[in-house]
A and B are shown apart, each in its own frame.
Chain A
Amino acid sequence: MKHDRILLGHGGGGTLTHELIERLFAPAFGMKELEDSAVLESAGRRLAFTTDSYVVKPYFFPGGDIGKLAVCGTVNDLAMQGAEPLWLSLGMILEEGLPIADLEKIVASIKATAVDIGVKVVTGDTKVVERGKCEGLYINTAGIGRVVADVGSTRVRPGDAVIVNGNLGEHGVAVLSRREGIAFQTSVISDCAPLWSLVQNALVSGAEIHAMRDPTRGGLAATVCDIAVASGVGIRLQESALPVSAEVRGACDLLGLDPLNIANEGKVVVFCRGTDAGRLLDAMRSHPLGREAWVIGEVTEKPKGMAVLRTAIGGERIVDMPTGEDLPRIC
């Protein structure tokens, strides 16, 4: 390891996080393929299993709260593996002094989101830490789902189309806009949403889907870089096709951020056989979360393991894996 202490950047979902996983966690447990969820076989059934912790600050943000996020994030990790979410666990770490009224709101939000998706919270745990040891509350959820499709980040092939279901960067900008010390006026709200029913539409469309990813920490840039490496392909994005609202772009200009690196919580990037793109777009657009679905790029043979962007003025540039600490505690 290059550092002798953990830096905030180790949690950013970029190269520092990868270093930690590749050098410490993965070798310790003999993990090879690192996906959003593990696919496990038991008694002839294929189950997906995943876990995620939520430390977003502030815990109420425009368009959602930590409770909704804790359900959506984990359910989305299952959905990206082609798994129908069935069960969730709920681990709560609460700070001494947290207003019960806030906790009640968050629990109501967890319940509403879970009911909406049709996933059951079946077990849980509660811990309380001294005031100042965490900010309000942290949540961990684990999820189990039933795998209904064969998808994975190593299956992407040259000729595939790259599709996203709408505007990029809204979760990150919405959370930042309420962050103490940054607070700025914007009407951007988080895109935080459960993606399973949209994914279901996509899966039954008949399109040959190779991989799906939710571009959370590290944004679209981290997602396409990951896929390019995992599948050994090149990914070419079109800047003019990238959906970014004027407000998100403005906020990014102001803060010196790249919308491609900003977290999303209700977006899915789908890699499907190029000739099936039309069929898949039709299916996605028939869903409320997919109305703005669009082809944003294509998969090529070269440059292997890299993503590039054709810019609006006709130049070409690299899309790089973010290092990862610009925006801590976004999810």
Chain B
Amino acid sequence: MNEALNRIAELAQRVSRNVTFMEVCGTHTMAVSRSGLRQLLPANVKLISGPGCPVCVTDTSYLDAAIELARRPDVIVTTFGDLVRVPGSESSLERERAAGAAVRVVYSPADALSLAQENPDKQVVFLGVGFETTAPTVAWTIKKAAQDGVMNFSVLCAHKTMPFAMEALLKDKEVKIDGFICPGHVSVITGAQLYRFIPERYGIPCVVCGFEAVDVMKCIAMLLAQIAEERAAVEIEYTRSVNQTGNPAAQQLIAEVFEESDAGWRGIGVIRRSGLAIRKEFSRWDAGKSVTFRESSPHPGCRCGDVLRGVLTPPDCKLFAKACTPTNPLGPCMVSSEGACAAFYRYERKVAA
């Protein structure tokens, strides 16, 4: 392990300028914070987190819509656990549940479908949030509901895709990125080729990275090596699971059920072609059709948006660890276990000597 650190130190010296690398995957955020890696890096290598935590980039208006659905007496809202505590503009699913709403945590959309079959008198809504990693299973479940004629199941869809969000950050003048640590999980599905336009059009190195601290260290060394050698390409550190082309069956499923759409990212705004919407053929299973999305705003003072763009590190937010803590989170980055603020709070809140 010291070998990887030595290599980073050596390359950082060769590069001899300040460089900032962004990871765009919640698992990487956690790996960096949990391993204490940040403190071990040379002074001229900085790591920042991007919009890689699916819960964190989910817009307040989506949460409000989910809460509105949960309040209906004939609806059971099903969701992955992380979303339950995220505050909408007035409430959260957790509070609604305590007040009597039917909110169930599930571990797969297929469980939500079973729940719909067991409760024919209820409408079971699954909250479809996540990147290319979760989209295929949600697509499969919608297809299955259509095949089996399960009419009381639907998905409130806020699925997003990563490449155009990364591009939006590169175009953002406030954000300075010298290399991307690309998400391993997403790339298993999409293949590494997905990022090729980044080095080609923007000259920024990309390395697809596994999710252990050791992977992140190797990945940092690979990014530094590209910079030192004055080249930019998509390379794969996570070779044990990722190739260039990805998983065609999963891609096919996504394409069958979803279509590209514009999507609103919390803190970043609408990014063209960065979302997945449910295709017309499956609109019967689209819960978005039965609820209105109202404009809504997050907590005043919450700077999750700036954190997600990598402009602000969590401890520099005025609310961090004061008004906003994991027990009483004001923004999504403090709620999600993969959020940058939660990771900083849990693992890197200043350690006194």
The judgment on whether A and B are partners is: yes
Residues of A within 8 A of B (CB): 2-3, 5-9, 15-16, 19, 181-182, 255-256, 258, 302-304, 306, 308, 311-318, 320, 323, 325-326
Given A181-B107, A303-B351, A303-B353; A320-B345 close (CB under 8 Å): yes
* Those 3 A-B pairs whose CB atoms lie nearest each other, nearest first: A315-B36, A303-B352, A317-B347
Q: Are B346 and A311 in contact (CB under 8 A)?
A: no
- The interface centre, meaning the residue of B97, B213, B326 with most chain A CB atoms within 10 A of its CB, is B326
Given A313-B35, A316-B351, A317-B33; A7-B106 close (CB under 8 Å): no
Q: How far is the CA of A315 from the CA of B349 in the complex (A)?
A: 14
Report the stretch among B37-45, B68-76, B141-149, B261-269 that lies at the interface: B37-45
Given A313-B40, A314-B40, A317-B36; A5-B217 close (CB under 8 Å): no
Which residues 81-105 in B have Cβ within 8 Å of A in the complex? Answer: 81-82, 85, 94-95, 97-99, 105
**Cβ-neighbour of A302 out of B98, B328, B349, B353 (below 8 A):** B353
Q: Which residues of B contact A326 (CB under 8 A)?
A: 81, 337
Q: Which residues of A contact B82 (CB under 8 A)?
A: 256
Q: Which residues of B contact A182 (CB under 8 A)?
A: 107
Q: How far is the CA of A325 from the CA of B33 in the complex (A)?
A: 21
Q: Are B346 and A320 in contact (CB under 8 A)?
A: yes
Q: Are A323 and B327 in contact (CB under 8 A)?
A: yes
Determine if B214 is an interface residue (Cβ-Cβ < 8 Å): yes
Other 13 A-B pairs with CB < 8 A, given A306-B352, A311-B35, A320-B346: A8-B97, A9-B85, A15-B326, A181-B106, A256-B82, A306-B351, A313-B5, A313-B37, A315-B35, A315-B37, A315-B40, A317-B33, A317-B351
Q: How far is the CA of A255 from the CA of B108 in the complex (A)?
A: 11
Q: Which residues of B contact A320 (CB under 8 A)?
A: 326, 345-347, 349
Given A2-B328, A16-B327, A323-B326; A315-B38 close (CB under 8 Å): yes
Q: Which residues of B contact A325 (CB under 8 A)?
A: 85, 94
Q: Which residues of A contact B338 (CB under 8 A)?
A: 256
Q: How far is the CA of A134 from the CA of B257 in the complex (A)?
A: 40
The interface size bin for chain B is: 35 or more
The minimal Cβ–Cβ distance linking A309 to chain B, given in whole angstroms, is 8
Q: How far is the CA of A151 from the CA of B217 in the complex (A)?
A: 44
Q: Which residues of B contact A316 (CB under 8 A)?
A: 36, 39, 351
Residues of B within 8 A of A (CB): 1-2, 5, 33-40, 81-82, 85, 94-95, 97-99, 105-107, 111, 213-214, 217, 326-328, 337-338, 345-349, 351-353
Q: Which residues of A contact B39 (CB under 8 A)?
A: 315-316
Q: How far is the CA of A15 from the CA of B85 in the complex (A)?
A: 15
Q: Which residues of A contact B36 (CB under 8 A)?
A: 311, 313-317
Q: Which residues of B contact A313 (CB under 8 A)?
A: 1, 5, 35-37, 40, 213-214, 217
Given A181-B111, A320-B345; A5-B351 close (CB under 8 Å): no
Q: Which residues of A contact B352 (CB under 8 A)?
A: 302-304, 306
Q: Are B98 and A5 in contact (CB under 8 A)?
A: yes
Q: How far is the CA of A323 from the CA of B347 in the complex (A)?
A: 14
A-B contact pairs, 14 of them (CB 8 A): A5-B98, A8-B97, A181-B107, A256-B338, A312-B35, A312-B213, A313-B35, A313-B217, A314-B5, A315-B36, A316-B36, A316-B39, A317-B35, A317-B347
Q: Are B111 and A311 in contact (CB under 8 A)?
A: no
Q: Are B99 and A317 in contact (CB under 8 A)?
A: no
Q: Which residues of A contact B214 (CB under 8 A)?
A: 313
Q: How far is the CA of A306 from the CA of B352 in the complex (A)?
A: 9
Q: Are B94 and A7 in contact (CB under 8 A)?
A: yes
Q: How far is the CA of A314 from the CA of B38 in the complex (A)?
A: 11
The minimal Cβ–Cβ distance linking B352 to chain A, given in whole angstroms, is 4
